[in-house]
Amino acid sequence: MRSENTPFRGGPLDGRVLPILLGPTGHPPKWYEVPVPAHDGRPPTLYTYRREPAGYSKRLGLQRGWVYQYAPEGRERRELRWPWSRPSAPAAPPSKDAEPNG
C-alpha cells in the first residue's frame, strides 16, 4: 500500500509529519483519530484531525496535497441522505387549537 507524508497543524501533533496510508482513490482518510490511553483511572482521550487541502499552485490552481488540521470539537456526525428518502421537516410547535379543554 502507498503512503504519503502528511503534515499536522494544531493540537498535540502540531508540526509533525507522519506517513499516512492512502485509500483506493489515492487520498488519505478524511478524519485521522489518535487514541491516547489515560492513566490514574481517567477516561482515554481521542484527538481528531480533519483533512484539508494544503494549498494551491499560483498558475494553474492545482492542489498541492493534504494537511491534517486539529479539530478540538471532535468528529462531525452527519445523517445519511438517501435519494429516495423524504427531507426531514423541522418539528413544528403544537398549535393552540390542539390543546385539550379542561
Round to whole Å and give the CA distance between 64 and 4. Answer: 13
Report the DSSP beta bridge partners of residue 63.
Answer: 56
Q: How far apart are CA 10 and CA 72, in angstroms?
A: 9
Per-residue pLDDT band at 43 (split at 50, 70, 90) = confident
Q: Where are the beta strands (DSSP E) in the chain?
A: 3-9, 17-21, 31-36, 45-53, 66-70
Q: Which residues pair with 46 in a beta bridge?
A: 35
User: How does pLDDT run across 56-78, given as a tens digit for each residue?
Assistant: 999 999 999 999 999 998 887 77
- 69 strand-pairing partners: 9, 50
Statement: residue 91 has pLDDT above 70: no
